Amino acid sequence: MAAAAARCAGGHGGGCFLLRRRLLAAATFLAAFGLGAAGLGAAGDAAAGRGRYPHHVMLRVEDVLPAPSSSSCDTPREHEHGASSSGTRMTIVHRHGPCSPLADAHGKPPSHDEILAADQNRVESIHHRVSTTATVRGKPKRRPSPSRRQQQPSAPAPAASLSSSTASLPASSGRALGTGNYVVTIGLGTPASRYTVVFDTGSDTTWVQCQPCVVVCYKQQEKLFDPARSSTYANVSCAAPACSDLYTRGCSGGHCLYSVQYGDGSYSIGFFAMDTLTLSSYDAVKGFRFGCGERNEGLFGEAAGLLGLGRGKTSLPVQTYDKYGGVFAHCLPARSSGTGSVSYTHLDVYKRQRQTTPMLTDNGPTFYYVGMTGIRVGGQLLSIPQSVFSTAGTIVDSGTVITRLPPAAYSSLRSAFASAMAARGYKKAPALSLLDTCYDFTGMSEVAIPKVSLLFQGGAYLDVNASGIMYAASLSQVCLGFAANEDDDDVGIVGNTQLKTFGVVYDIGKKTVGFSPGAC
């Protein structure tokens, strides 16, 4: 029957019509017993994904494959930077995709092993940071022992030409993060110059590389920001209250110094300054405080710096609270060759079918904590006690690639997902780095996979888009895009793979995080 189904996948003859009826009858019978359409072939899979089986979704395999180097950028008109009909709206793109302004600069993209290794560095750094700052159920979380994780290298002390003999700046902040993989374009200074920066909801301080470089600056696509060419630039005084907003700060000649360090050993050191930040061609933020980095080193993919959108005092949403009410939203595209958006006003597009969950601001600073309560696979609620999620808590993080779950939760997810895929007859494939549940989809353009839903406090849920359920290295190695944390006490992370196509709305004022399907 499978061979005949494959021959009829695009046919219209009477025999094919009868065969399709037999296929659907067989699939209905199997579904009644909680099974998939195992062995029904391409035609059966296609039928399963067209509304007849609401607990499965159709995955176009090309949506999860890396964009070929020859692919072009699909930029919808409504996502163009600064379109007046869209309010304050910016385009967000994958920094290694063809839409990225850095596409011609970064050369060969990193391998999947490199991407996942960098992602693990970020996750370990988040766990380390949370362990020193977060509280769950009102109790401080324990600090992990050095044996549990590889210690990250410390940023060097500032160069002598950057600081006076009396300057004091800690070498390491202890709040390291790996950098994210989506970028946006901002304007900085008067007149404004455009810069491509990493978009990161897990960081607070925005910074760019500045002239003059002291000792070293990494290579970037655009010219370095030159404070001398901006009529609105000013250093922040050491005595200014804004200087004390920095987690790691110092002083040189009366001017405030900042230092940020990331999980891969990258860092930026320089003067904390103020200037005009332009988010679109007509929307400027005057007196925006940012880091003017004169000593920078790391793997930033030739981006000019980083845009910090966390909850800390130096972040963009907090600094612009009076202007935007502490609200912003992003939508990450399904494919690396597509475009998404970041919005600060006119968020009506995200209201449709929005699911809202409380933002748990008492759990700790910077990160966007939410209360995860469960997981559904193929429409079935998994038997996971809520205490599994509440023990360590959960954050939503745009810079983490793969969602991390408590070990018991991931084990249950993997088991249910693998059972459903086995029932459909899909061939297993070798593991890909930290992804251990993989399949060979060679010769297939569409496959039916079980729906995965993440459940949150307040009744909110996120029905993960098909492109966010799987992570692909190639047609022969397409993997479940979730992974387990090392320890029950490690905070869970909803990563950007699972957030694709959703409008994610962060409202610091109302203390909510919302999910709107199909926003881009």
Q: What angle do CA 371, 373, 374 make, to 5 degrees?
A: 140
Q: Which of 200, 204, 245, 275 is catalytic?
A: 200
DSSP per-residue codes, 428-467: EE--BTTB--EEE-TT-SEEEEE-EEEEEGGG-EEE--HH
Say if CB 485 and CB 494 are below 8 A apart: no
Q: Residue 517: is it exposed, middle or buried by C-beta count within 10 angstroms (0-12/13-18/19+)?
A: middle
Residue 228: Cβ within 10 Å count: 9
Q: Which of 343, 267, 270, 344 is nearest to 299 (CA)?
A: 267
Residue among 396, 344, 346, 357 at smallest CA distance from 92: 344
Would you say 342 and 504 are in contact if contact means Cβ atoms under 8 Å apart?
Answer: no
Q: Catalytic: 104?
A: no
Q: Is 325 exposed, middle or buried (0-12, 13-18, 19+ CB in 10 A)?
A: middle
Pair of tokens at residue 146: 């050095």
- Distance from C-alpha of 16 to C-alpha of 8, rounded to nearest angstrom: 6
Q: Which one from 264, 275, 397, 490 is the annotated catalytic residue?
A: 397
Q: How far is CA 456 from the centre of its chain?
A: 18
Structure tokens at 328: 């912003």
Is 245 tagged catalytic? no
Cα 97 to Cα 65: distance, rounded to the nearest angstrom: 12
Which residues are annotated as catalytic? 200, 397
